[in-house]
Structure 1
Amino acid sequence: MRARQRKRRDLLRARAGYACEYCRVTETLMGGRLTEDHIIPLNASGTDDLDNLCWCCWWCNVYKGSQTTARTPRSGAIVRLFHPRRNRWETHFRWSRNGLRILGRTMMGRATVEALRMNDPDRMATRRFWVIHRVHPRDTS
């Protein structure tokens, strides 16, 4: 990796607090580094500017793919996905009382939870481990 790329990656990691900017899993909990995501994909006129990049986990990166919009589960309306540079996580999401699920507070939040499959069974099983061992991101931030 070239020095410029390494510097950009280090900036992204630090800005994100070493956690996925979508689901909040930390690098420590994942057991390794996360990856960069083009919030607006390059094939949809996105850029490599830092304002269009976020740090995210493998799951969120794969499930998001090139999506920028998704349907809300309740109404089926098409809305923009959560944009970590423009939107505040706390405005659009919250943790369930038991810490296993991420709940959408807004149409954008609910559509993002569904599109990125933030509550699939494997992810919830992982969060159960976090809760049991008191290492859940909501408890450590």
Structure 2
Amino acid sequence: MNPFYPLVANRANHRCEYCHAPELVFNFPFEVEHIVPMYRGGADAEFNLALACRSCNLRKGTRISAVDPESKTEVPLFHPRQDTWNEHFRVDIEVGTAIGRATIVCLEMNSQPQIIARQLWIRLGLFP
């Protein structure tokens, strides 16, 4: 396990810092990911680490930006250490910002399985 996991997981309240999935409902710990990948100059330090569910981590990969589907311009992805989740996303994962829209599309946060899971988590009182 990543040595930073306890710090990162506690700071994130054991939620994916991208889609806010609750770690509690999974049968394994979430992943500690580099917000800015090391090969892009990111540091292996707590300020550059985020807790991510497997789905978000795999889809984000080494990306730090994506195309906003509305403006068709490349914008940065949501950055958990610099951006505030509530400014870019709502409970239904709808949004009005370019960063939010690009992140939603890139990480497929509104895929059918994600929507079904969120609805269940809401009913269980685990989301947002």
Q: Which residue of 1 aligns with 2:124?
A: 134
Q: Does residue 1:76 correspond to 2:72, yes or no?
A: yes
Q: Deviations 1:76-114 (Å, cap 9, x if unpaired)?
A: 111000100011101111122xxxxx1123111111111
Residue in structure 1 matched with residue 16 of structure 2 by the alignment: 20
CA distance in structure 1 between the partners assigned to 2:48 and 2:96 by the alignment: 23
User: Higher RCO, 1 or 2 (CA under 8 Å, sep at least 6)?
Assistant: 2
- Write the deviation string for residues 23-69 of structure 1: whole angstroms up to 9, x where unpaired: 10111122331001100011111110111100010000000010001
Once the two structures are TM-superposed, the CA of residue 126 in structure 1 deviates from its matched residue by 1.5
Unmatched 5+ stretches in structure 2:
none
What SS class does the counterpart of residue 54 from structure 1 fall into? strand
Identity %: 35
CA RMSD of aligned residues (A): 1.4
Q: Which runs of 4+ in 1 moved over 4 A?
A: none
1:89 equivalent in alignment to 2:88 = no
Structure with greater helix share of residues: 1
2:41 aligns with: 45
Residue 127 of structure 1: how far off its partner (Å): 1.9
Give the superposition deviation at 1:130: 2.2
Q: TM-score, normalised by structure 2?
A: 0.93
What aligned pairs does 1:55-134 form with structure 2 within 5 A after superposition? 55-96=51-92, 102-131=93-122, 133-134=123-124
| Amino acid across the alignment from 2:127 | P
Q: Structure 1: where are the runs of 5+ without partners?
A: 97-101
Bigger shift: residues 25-34 or 66-75:
25-34
Task: Count residues in correspondence.
Answer: 128
The residue identity in structure 2 corresponding to 1:111 is: A
Bigger CA radius of gyration: 1
What is the TM-score with the length of structure 1 in the denominator? 0.85
- Partners of 1:115 and 1:121 in 2: CA distance: 15
Q: In 2 relative to 1, CA 69–26 (structure 1 residues): closer, same or farther, beyond 3 Å?
A: same
